[in-house]
Structure 1
Amino acid sequence: MRERYYLVREDILPEAVVKTLQVKQLLAAGSVRTVHEAVEQVGLSRSAFYKYKDGIHQLNQLERDRIVTVSFDLEHRSGILSQVLALVASFGGNVLTINQSIPLQGVANVVISVETSHLTEDLDDLLDKLRSVQGVKRVQIVGQG
């Protein structure tokens, strides 16, 4: 099932959800050292924080957090990695990191981290296109954040 997101005004959210976001902000800013300190400061139970923490994000934070890590097995031929990177860029993806192993038996493993908040098409469509590039042997998402 695909996650669905809604844009909701803060004043109609339940108090526990708003306070959960406040706790996350305190932790991110380093104003407190522990979840216990943060929930005490905003007046929220730890159980409520853990219930909602993965489901509430500031809108600008949600965009920044759309990073996908993709692992590829590529044939060891000139230009294949370049084609992969160009395709990611053509979909609006921003490549943040590239790690490549030394080719063994004519195949190199490449892992890239891609910021996906500005993709012009669905991530699954991008992955399908990447799989169709000649010389790409395997494409797999290994992390999403």
Structure 2
Amino acid sequence: MHNNPSSRFYLVESNMLPEIFRKVVYAKELLQTGEAATVAEAASNAGISRSAYYKYKDSVSPFQDMERGRIITYHITLRDRRGGLSTLLSVFAGSGANILTINQSIPINGIALVTISAETTGMTSSSEELLEKLQNTEGIKKVEITAG
């Protein structure tokens, strides 16, 4: 998927899509299941060129795969207050995000830098809603998404 912040996602019935998109998804499935050992084999079996596969492979996915395995890394500036990290983690827990890593620096001048990588699978709110909740949480000065 494109990391362009202005990218939008649309839910479209597969029969409304150009055939090339359905074939790219099929080629991806052949690779994932091991039915095709190479991109060339998967593309050939799907009836598309390798260049068409590479052109669209990152932009088209079945609906149930859209958020699966997506990892977002947040860089957070946190005020050094008792319970601050706990409050931060409860925002993630409340959204259903699966925290994979946490790295916190030693507070300097009352500020700690925290980096959290979280998987979005199973979240009860969108990534944008989580970002907004974090930005509005007391004790959090700044939140940036640095990867995802």
TM-score, normalised by the number of residues in structure 1: 0.77
Q: What does the per-residue CA deviation read over 1:105-126, in whole Å, with 9 as the maximum and x for residues that have no partner?
A: 2523232314166444x54343
Amino acid at match of 2:141: K
Over aligned residues, Cα RMSD in angstroms?
2.5
Q: Do structure 1's residue 39 and structure 2's residue 43 form an aligned pair?
A: yes
Confirm or deny: 8 A CA contact 1:74 1:108 kept in the other structure.
yes
In structure 2, the residue matched to 1:59 is 63
In structure 1, the residue matched to 2:3 is none
- State the 1:57 CA deviation: 0.9
Residue correspondence of structure 1 range 22-33 to structure 2 within 5 A: 22-33=26-37
Separation in 1 of the partners of 2:35 and 2:102? 35
**Across the two proteins, how many residue pairs are aligned to each other?**
141
Residue correspondence of structure 1 range 1-145 to structure 2 within 5 A: 1-8=6-13, 10-90=14-94, 92-105=95-108, 106=110, 107-115=112-120, 118-120=123-125, 123-144=127-148
Separation in 1 of the partners of 2:130 and 2:17? 35
Q: What does the per-residue CA deviation read over 1:15-74, in whole Å, with 9 as the maximum and x for residues that have no partner?
A: 221110011112222333321221122221112212221222112111424543212122
- State the 1:12 CA deviation: 4.0
Separation in 1 of the partners of 2:66 and 2:51? 23
Confirm or deny: 8 A CA contact 2:77 2:142 kept in the other structure.
yes
1:143/1:93 Cα in 2 relative to 1: closer, same or farther (>3 Å)? farther
Separation in 1 of the partners of 2:83 and 2:39? 48
Which 4+ runs in 1 deviate beyond 4 A?
none
Amino acid at match of 2:104: S
Separation in 2 of the partners of 1:87 and 1:102? 20
Confirm or deny: 8 A CA contact 2:73 2:115 kept in the other structure.
no
**Is there any run of 5+ residues in structure 2 with no aligned partner, and where?**
1-5
Amino acid at match of 1:143: A
**Is there any run of 5+ residues in structure 1 with no aligned partner, and where?**
none
